[in-house]
Amino acid sequence: MAIRLGSTVINCTDLDTMTRFWSAALGLEPASEAGDFRLLRGPHVNLSLQRSSTPVSARDQMHLDLYADDQRREVDRLVGLGARFVRHVDDDPADDWVVLADPEDNLFCVCVKPAAEVRDPAARAGTPGAGPAA
């Protein structure tokens, strides 16, 4: 494939707070610290933060789904880093996620997705060939 996702960009007002939060949350390292832009790099993902010249007000246009083997542990860790709990959606045993908000109220989800299932979507019991449902 000639195209791939390079980085997801989050608009924010406080680059330092958001850099600390997302670096710790995802184990990323700041790779650039330009005045209005930060690139955070990791072995499997890049995340970019971009200073917004106006308050960030449009929500739910896009969000991150974070896949976790141990959802409860990761939610507790992220809340300890400064995330805010929003809601837990667990009405379908095959699709369970927790909605959190980062320090600037950008929503993201922590989904129950074991690593083996993410690498092989057919691993989901009873749904041959099914992809991740987040």
Torsion on CA atoms 65, 31, 22, 3, rounded to nearest 10: -10
pLDDT tens across 61-106, in order?
678 989 998 999 999 999 999 999 999 998 887 788 999 999 999 9
Report helix, strand or coil for 121.
helix
DSSP state of 124: S
Question: Average pLDDT of 41-46?
Answer: 89
- How would DSSP label each residue in 63-92? -EEEEESSHHHHHHHHHHHT-EEEEEEEEE
Give the CA count within 13 Å in the CB-facing half-sphere of 53: 0
**pLDDT given at position 62:** 75
Q: Which amino acid is at 118?
A: V
